[in-house]
């Protein structure tokens, strides 16, 4: 399976981004600002932050969770939600900052 990850910053909203997989964003719409084809691309990790990471954390089947020495919460498990259908079943490692303002999830790479 070929996966392409592209982050595009929005001109109107600094800090907004678009997460793209094979030319389609997580809402199923074509990505803006995506050029060229995906030929020859390798599998890449999917990185989600902010609200997208919160969606993954809230709708994952927990394999494990815990709190590290710095107070960050960690969650590991496959995504089971319906919002990002292309990510269903993909396993993510996620963490939440001590102040619960930063959320980040990274997918596991296949063998």
Domain-by-domain residue ranges, the chain?
A: 1-44, 45-111
Give the tens place of pLDDT for each residue, 73-106: 999 999 999 999 999 999 999 999 999 999 999 9
Q: Output the six-digit token pair for 35.
A: 């050029």
> Exposure string (b/e) for 65-93, b if CB count within 10 Å is 16 or more?
eeeeeeebbebbbbbeeeebeebeebbbb
Answer whether residue 2 shows pLDDT above 70. no
């Amino acid at each position: 399976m070929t996966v392409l990850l592209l982050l595009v910053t929005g001109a109107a909203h600094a800090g907004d981004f678009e997460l793209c997989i094979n030319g389609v964003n997580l809402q199923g719409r074509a990505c803006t600002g995506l050029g060229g084809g995906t030929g020859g691309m390798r599998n890449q990790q999917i990185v989600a932050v902010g609200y997208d990471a919160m969606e993954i954390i809230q709708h994952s089947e927990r394999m494990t969770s815990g709190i590290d020495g710095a107070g960050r919460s960690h969650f590991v498990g496959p995504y089971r939600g319906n919002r990002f259908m292309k990510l269903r079943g993909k396993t993510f490692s996620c963490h939440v900052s001590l102040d619960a303002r930063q959320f980040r999830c990274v997918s596991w790479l296949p063998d």
